[in-house]
Structure 1
């Protein structure tokens, strides 16, 4: 399972101590979680963290890079 933690723009990074105070949505596949993170960005919200039971840990900085790359693929088409 993958959890996407979200918040409003300007939110502080999530620390392990306050993770329980943040909203999250669960997905079975990383692709679905990334799609939801993209949806959050498109609707003016922010994906703060994606964590997976497999050890995946994508913080806000990692997500920004991944979403930028994903946007380029969708704009220019995947090779």
Structure 2
């Protein structure tokens, strides 16, 4: 299972960097500087960013619902 997870994260990281930067030199530079030379780390950062965005949206929805029902 960990091998499959690493493969998925690596593919996700590679796709993310290539779509974001589009220049292979910039991809390699960013990979070395920011992600320690591993596409897996880029995939993990992307995954955590998505999870944090979902958490923020969920928090705002919950706060809005609580305010709506307490004021109404």
Higher normalized strand content (fraction of residues): 1
TM-score (normalised: structure 2):
0.34
Higher normalized helix content (fraction of residues): 2
TM-score (normalised: structure 1):
0.32
